Structure 1
Amino acid sequence: MMDINQLPAAFLAEMKTLLGVEYDRYIDSFREEWKPGLRVNTLKLQPERLKEMVPWKLEPVAWTEKGFYYDEGAEPKPSKHPFYYGGLYYLQEPSAMAPAAMLPVTPGDKVLDLCGAPGGKSTELASKLQGEGLLVANDISYSRARALLKNLELAGAANICVTSESPEQLAQVWPEFFDKILVDAPCSGEGMFRREDSMVRDWEERGPAYYGPLQRKIMEAAVGMLKPGGLLLYSTCTFSRYENEETVLSVLEKHPEIELVKLDLSKAPGSCDGAGLSGCMRLFPHRLKGEGHFLALLRKGKGGSSPADGSKKEVSQRKLSAGIPGKDMYSKTGEGQKNLQNFLSDIRMELDMSRVVIHQEQIYYLPQGLERNLPLRFLRTGLLMGALKKGRFEPSQALAMALKADQYSNVLRLKEGDQRILRYLKGETLSLAKEERPLTGWSLVMMDEFPLGWCKGMGMSLKNKYYSGWRWQ
């Protein structure tokens, strides 16, 4: 629990001005326990089904039907349960569920999560797309973008691109390209003071004066990437009016084609309107069960605006830092490709083979609408299906997580509670029981109907092929 005496005096003075008669209630909230949350991954199952499966008492989060509170001391820990490794849910602070919940994404949209790491909001945007359209998830930090990629692949998201670029570079490549954009901007983190002492230290070192100009710069790039008629949701986890309403006002003043779309406060009971800018949404820990957050929804008018400086043609002539060349799966011959084709024929997925490409022996299934040879630093372009190794094809962990229960026939289906589930997640070799049928070749290990990863069947013994970087620790 945060010691109130450690809070900066300048911050407390600003909060007193902002909250007025509610200030004492806000201070009292620091003496209360915060409630952790999880959000159901509807690429895998529906919320009601998960509630029936888990051993914890779950309380609904008001602003999303997919979100639930659980007790902080819950056992077994939700982060250690096999359901977590199956991608059935994402652990997320409840207020942080609001931005993706309030952005109206529909299947088929082209969506950008501009500041996406570690992936809580990106995974929810992917679940809203339901495998249709395109999700670009970006973080300027390469190490954070790696965590973002893991969480998207763990969730079974296939129609994704993960990039690590500056917003300005993305805007050069994708002018007026996206239907929906989420900017959960880096901020001074005042809304997280109650649960993270480190945010107080960061505020003292940098604070709103540092983050405000950065947020405006990010938003300028985001506006340039939004299609006419498109929606952009701006959010932070801070209370600072300079970082919140004033950032939105700066966009509205600079871009007459942008309008503020009023958010419905009834969707988040306990939320309140913006401070000096009506139509926004503020979440405070003394008003609801969650930490601090700010949201504003913007729409670009049908007339649009001038694209960002430069053009695709000019940018595409730059040297590629990463990307997938336009080489389809039939452009090579050999046992590896035949092996791949045989494997794909066993998968009951509808595949557009023109979107299956090979790059440096890696096999990718590109999202619909993604151009090739873009001058961006990609960590992933689409679904990594596997790799060609020494004349054979090896399917990827990402492919296993993206499959549905009925899309691959050669499976080892383990019931929840089977000790072999944990042994598999730890990377150990598995043995089949006498009554189980022998398995040969690539086999999908499943917990009930939820995929966990691959093994290589050798009769009654199974060689573990679970991705080593994800193993149970």
Structure 2
Amino acid sequence: MELPNDYLRRMEAMLGAEYSDYLASFSDQRVTSLRTNTRKIQPEDLKSRLPFLEEAVPWASEGFYFQEGVPSKHPYYFAGLYYLQEASAMSPGAMLPIVPGDRVLDLCGAPGGKATHLGARLAGTGVLFANDISASRAQAMVKNLELSGIGNCYVTAETPEKLAENFPSYFDKILVDAPCSGEGMFRRDPAIIKDWIERGPAYYQPIQREILTSAVKMLRPGGMLLYSTCTFSKEEDEDNVSWLLHDFPEIKLQPIPQRPGISEGFLPGTGRIWPHRVRGEGHFLALFQKETAGEARFSKEAAVHGQPFYQKKSRPFSVAAPDFAPILSGEWGERPVWEEKGNLYFLPPEAEKKARIRYLRTGLFLGTCKDGRFTPSPALALVLKPDEYPNRVDFSASDERAIRYLKGETVTCEGSSCAGADGWTLVLFDGFPLGWAKRNKTTLKNKYNPGWRWQ
């Protein structure tokens, strides 16, 4: 791998005696890791089920390293029990101090690794806005959030400026994992070096400052903002922190929580992850809080102004889908739904949908109604708990029919754990939902999402 001379000179000046160790790290074996989806399973339970998992990631207790196995070719992956994520990339989701009920924004969220982490930490409360300026990249977040069983979210494809116009002083917590020159990922993806040569830190710094400016406007008084990059460049890291503190005096730097493997940055209170010190790639972290005193520019009341997106009366799910919803147990049938062009949604109750925003997903997509018949969505299957839908079939961990189902094949449920009546049936693997099938006696007509199939 040929690294740019300008980059090498700067890294040598930055690292001093550790420079040779950093260069030697490029010859190390590639580090692989995954993060437990705590919305569905606890880390210790997942580790007991997957023998190839090794020790936990030091700064993210949900994460595990592994060297063997193919986690993307396991039914647990399709059940959303974990997300394949580089270890250092878990640090922003672990460091942002989320509490239940928060309004959380992942401003540069695609493809969704950090968004799914934040959504899992909300534990079904509050609301998550997962945004990316690119609609095509944001579509990847829709799939990843749905696989993770996170229904209390909006997925948007907007500029940070447009969001700031519509959501001033609105969010309790904001993550800005900013586009950057990617120096911390050179070892993992050498193709990034070409972009660095063509653009470099000077190209990204003004973009990062524009994004941070919008983020500050959207942060409520007392709210917290985490800024992160996967680059070593001081220009994009500590220099941006100093600029933010100077230009926005209401923003104060908070110390990054002390975790093994996270070193202090060149500015006290910031954090850095160095690939020659830990099992992970390069990352930078800075945590801020917006002061509550003297807040005048962006009032809390301003967050609720504007015309509501829809004026229609909502109606219970049991009324909107009378052939399906009444079968669900608990309070599912009485929850209010919003309908648009035959599509039914549960909107997050604490977050209004704004008319001028481009949404790719609005809350939990329940399914579609056509000619009085309801077709449940894949997202609904991944949110349900096994006992919330009586018509179900559960394939054991040793049953190869689960993989055949994930490939889109018609299978039988004879000899498996089967409950309920014919019709729409929830298919599970080892107790965890995968998707839907239409059951006729022992035959399961496959209704698994074609775009999610096992390839």
* TM-score bracket for this pair, using the shorter chain length: over 0.9
Matches of 2:127 and 2:383 in 1, distance apart? Answer: 15
Task: Tell me: CA distance 1:352–1:381, structure 2 relative to 1, closer, same or farther (3 Å).
Answer: farther
Q: Quote the residue 2:434 is aligned against.
A: 452
| 1:231-274 deviations in Å (ceiling 9; x for gaps) | 00000000000000111111110111100001133x1x232212
299-308 or 463-472, which deviates more: 299-308
CA offsets 1:34-53 (integer angstroms, 9 cap, x no match): 21100000111101111111
Deviation string, structure 1 residues 382-440 (Cα, Å, up to 9, x no partner): 00001002220011000000111221111111111211101110111121216756841
Task: Give yes or no for the alignment of 1:23 onto 2:13.
Answer: no
Provide the residue aligned with 2:95 in structure 1: 102
Match of 2:119 in 1: 126
Contact 1:29/1:286 (<8 A) preserved: yes
What residue in structure 2 maps to residue 469 of structure 1?
451
Provide, for residues 213-237 of structure 1, a one-character-per-residue CA deviation record: whole Å limited to 9, x for no partner: 0000000000000000000000000
Per the alignment, residue 278 of structure 1 pairs with: 268
Q: CA deviation at 1:328?
A: 4.0
Picking from 24, 30, 33, the partner of 1:34 is 30
RMSD over equivalenced CA pairs, Å? 2.0
CA offset at residue 16 of structure 1?
A: 1.1
The aligned counterpart of 1:327 is: 312
Map 1:141-180 onto structure 2 (within 5 A).
141-180=134-173
Are positions 1:423 and 2:417 aligned together?
Answer: no
Preserved contact between residue 318 and residue 326 of structure 2 (Cα < 8 Å): no
Relative distance call for 1:83 and 1:337 in structure 2 (3 A) is: closer
SS at match of 1:171: helix
**1:56-67 pair list within 5 angstroms:** 56-67=52-63
The 3 A distance-change label for structure 1 pair 430 and 295 is same
2:192 to 173, 179, 199: 199
Aligned position for 1:320: none
SS in structure 2 at match of 1:180? strand
Specify the alignment match of 1:229 in structure 2.
Answer: 222
Q: Which amino acid aligns with 1:327?
A: K
- What does residue 287 of structure 2 align with? 297
* C-alpha spacing 1:341/1:327, structure 2 compared with 1 (3 Å): farther
- What is the correspondence of 1:40-439 to structure 2 with a 5 Å cutoff? 40-71=36-67, 74-75=68-69, 77-265=70-258, 267=259, 269-275=260-266, 277-303=267-293, 304-307=295-298, 316=307, 325-330=310-315, 338=319, 340-351=321-332, 353=334, 355-433=336-414, 439=421
Q: Which sits farther off after the overlay, 95-104 or 422-431?
A: 422-431
- Stretches of structure 1 that go unaligned for 5 or more consecutive residues are 317-322
Per-residue deviation at 1:59?
1.8
CA contact (8 A) 2:325 2:333 kept: no
Aligned 8 A contact 2:169 2:303 in 1: no
TM-score normalised per structure 2:
0.95
- Look up the SS of the partner of 1:17 in the other structure: helix
Unaligned stretches of 5+ in structure 2? none
CA distance in 1 between counterparts of 2:419 and 2:289 reads 57
Structure-2 separation of matches of 1:437 and 1:359:
33
Q: Sequence identity of aligned pairs in percent? A: 50
CA contact (8 A) 2:175 2:226 kept: yes
**Equivalent position amino acid for 2:135 in 1:** Y
Asked if 2 retains the 8 angstrom alpha-carbon contact of 1:397 and 1:454, the reply is: yes
Partner of 1:319: none
TM-score by length of 1: 0.91
Letter of the aligned partner of 1:294 in structure 2?
Answer: F
Deviations 1:444-471 (A, max 9, x none): 0011210000111111211111111111
8 A Cα contact 2:59 2:262, kept in partner: no
Deviation at 1:307, TM superposition (A): 2.9
In structure 2, distance between residues paired with 1:352 and 1:174: 31
Q: Is the 8 A contact 1:175 1:226 kept in 2?
A: yes
**Structure 1: how far apart are the matches of 2:156 and 2:387?**
31
Task: Kindly provide the CA deviation profile for residues 104-138 of structure 1, in whole angstroms up to 9, marking residues without a partner as x.
Answer: 10111000000001111110101110000000000
Letter in 1 for 2:327: D
Distance in 2 separating the partners of 1:432 and 1:324: 44
Residues in 1 aligned to 2:330 and 2:209: alpha-carbon distance in whole angstroms? 43
CA distance in 2, matches of 1:146, 1:18: 38
Q: Evaluate the alpha carbon distance shift between residue 434 and residue 405 of structure 1 in structure 2; reply closer, same or farther with a 3 A threshold.
A: closer
- Which whole-Å CA distance do the structure 2 matches of 1:240 and 1:414 have between them? 50
- Is the 1:329–1:337 contact (alpha carbons within 8 Å) kept by the matching residues of 2? no
Contact 1:326-1:372 within 8 A present in 2 as well: no
How many residue pairs get aligned? The number is 451
Q: What is the CA–CA distance in structure 1 between the aligned matches of 2:166 and 2:419, rounded to whole Å?
A: 52
Shift of 1:330: 3.8
Is the Cα contact below 8 Å between 1:105 and 1:180 reproduced in 2? yes
Return closer, same or farther for 1:82/1:121 CA change in 2, 3 Å cut-off: same
